[in-house]
Chain A
């Protein structure tokens, strides 16, 4: 197990390092002068020179990378051109929206998927199984941003139950903040729940075919108890693995859905930074999101390895 953990840690470090190189290199592809691109053709020469110096454009590319990566390691992501504030501060501020939004959507998708997957497996081939599979097929086919628009149409514009966008902040209380986050979280949760419900159903069905389940049934354990106490815990490993893999889709979905609801989160910050040509913000936010995805995938791998008693192979 220790060897597996060390190998996974080494792979994590290599991936993080390569990801930082990719982000840095792609933004060097900007045609012409990046400082001129950011400030526009009417920029004053001294402002241009100051920005070039801040971005290290007067230094060799390797020095620039080492300087940037060193800052990244210390939590220094540079200073935003648009907001004239450290990018790390902006990110911390926006995380107060993106993090609860992602967590809420994860909770909602799991709360929807596990009972639906269990129900479908328990009643395989019957009407409720087909209904769950139908929901799953529909859920994976509908992009989260379209679900978001439909939710706004129904719950905001027609029923007036939820706001169509914006975020009141946490200072006004948890209730109003969660009220504003519920529709976006639901829009993100539905496609995730559709995938998870299918995985749960398959995993539970696979587990139900195993010897220990037959033994439990033969010993007189009730059907529901077998499902909840024996099949579900065993099925949670593939479910957790898929949940981990879904994190990257969740990150991508959050970027788009935050823009549908004009939520001041990381996705909105990133989108606005592109419009404002604030490459320093783009660089910082993209690298952080990539690190987050890598870290979550590694944690899921480790959690699954700890939960799975079988010997660990070399497969990644």
Chain B
């Protein structure tokens, strides 16, 4: 019987697709060039010409949010992609090698978790200067540690199952067992975790850009927009609302997508999910 897709999966996928669509659209079209400065039109409230108003340089806020979506997605995708590339093989290796591999991954995880991603990014910025690359490296390190741990745990459970024993008895080597039996069985768990980490990456990128350590101007970033808006909170309060809504909706979409995928793949979790 076909299982019904959870509501959170529908909502999460819808919001995430909207985010991706806006980011892709910004490659082709924005209402105004996102970096176009028009000082005469600075700090305007929402009007028919500028749906979300203008910032302190007279730049169109909607256009900046659209390009900001692209930048956020790019940083998130790079951080999660690199995390997957490093973390999943490490976790699979730890599970296949047994005790020593396990110990190495556990200690590496402890070490990375000692440094919250924001702290790692600050450390890298102090050494190498501010920029999106350092943010991606810091977030990818954290993601790799989380994904290695999740992969290792899930892979160990698969290694204990009878069909893996049967495959080994038939003469399959550890590499073949890992690729043919273990990896397909843990892919769902890894995808769910990657989705949640994507959301965390968007929040952390925004926080670092707020501090001026992430994406550098003139390229728009939601975090930097909030940082700028704080200066003009009294005169243009709405400027501090729109980028925040964009962050919250993106994170909500991705976390609901992760929750929904988890519920769909493992219905035992349904009671604890948000939807």
Question: B-contacting residues of A (Cβ < 8 Å)?
Answer: 11, 14-15, 18-19, 22-23, 26-31, 124, 133-134, 136-138, 140-143, 145-146, 149-150, 152-153, 157, 198, 201-202, 205, 248-249, 251-252, 255-256, 259-260, 270-271, 273-274, 277, 279, 282, 286, 289-291, 293-294, 297, 316
Contact = CB atoms under 8 A, between A and B. Distances in A.
Interface in B126-169: 126-128
Nearest to B128: A29
Contacts of A290: 114-115, 119
A138 B251 CA distance: 9
B271 A289 contact: no
Given A157-B234, A252-B207, A282-B126, A294 B114 contact: yes
A65 to B, nearest CB: 15
A23 B83 CA distance: 21
28 contacts: A14-B110, A27-B123, A31-B128, A138-B252, A143-B206, A146-B247, A149-B240, A150-B241, A150-B244, A152-B233, A153-B237, A153-B240, A157-B233, A157-B234, A248-B114, A251-B119, A252-B207, A270-B122, A273-B126, A274-B125, A282-B123, A286-B115, A286-B123, A289-B119, A290-B115, A290-B119, A316-B109, A316-B110
A15 B114 contact: yes
Given A26-B127, A282-B122, 14 more contacts: A11-B110, A27-B123, A31-B128, A141-B255, A152-B230, A153-B240, A157-B233, A198-B272, A198-B274, A205-B271, A249-B116, A252-B116, A260-B230, A294-B114
A22 B127 contact: no
A27 to B, nearest CB: 5
Contacts, number: 151
B118 interface: yes
B124 interface: yes
A129 B27 CA distance: 42
Interface residues of B, number: 48
Contacts of A198: 272, 274
A193 to B, nearest CB: 15
B110 A255 contact: no
B111 interface: yes
Nearest to A21: B111
B66 interface: no
Given A153-B240, A202-B271, A202-B272, A252 B123 contact: no
B248 interface: yes
B194 interface: no
Q: Name the prevailing secondary structure of the A interface residues.
A: helix
B107 interface: yes
Given A18-B111, A316-B106, A27 B126 contact: yes
B124 A26 contact: yes
Given A27-B127, A149-B226, A316-B106, A286 B251 contact: no
Contacts of A134: 274
B85 interface: no
Nearest to B272: A202
Nearest to B156: A315
A223 B206 CA distance: 44
Contact of A143 (B116, B122, B203): B203
A142 B251 CA distance: 8
B77 interface: no
A149 B233 contact: yes
B117 interface: yes
B119 A153 contact: no
A149 B248 CA distance: 14
Nearest to A18: B111
B252 A141 contact: yes
Candidate in A142, A198, A297 with the most chain B CB atoms within 10 angstroms: A142
Contacts of B203: 143
Contacts of A260: 230
B244 A255 contact: no
B240 A274 contact: no
Contact of B113 (A22, A259, A282, A297): A297
Q: Which of A141, A142, A248, A294 has the most CB of B within 10 A?
A: A141
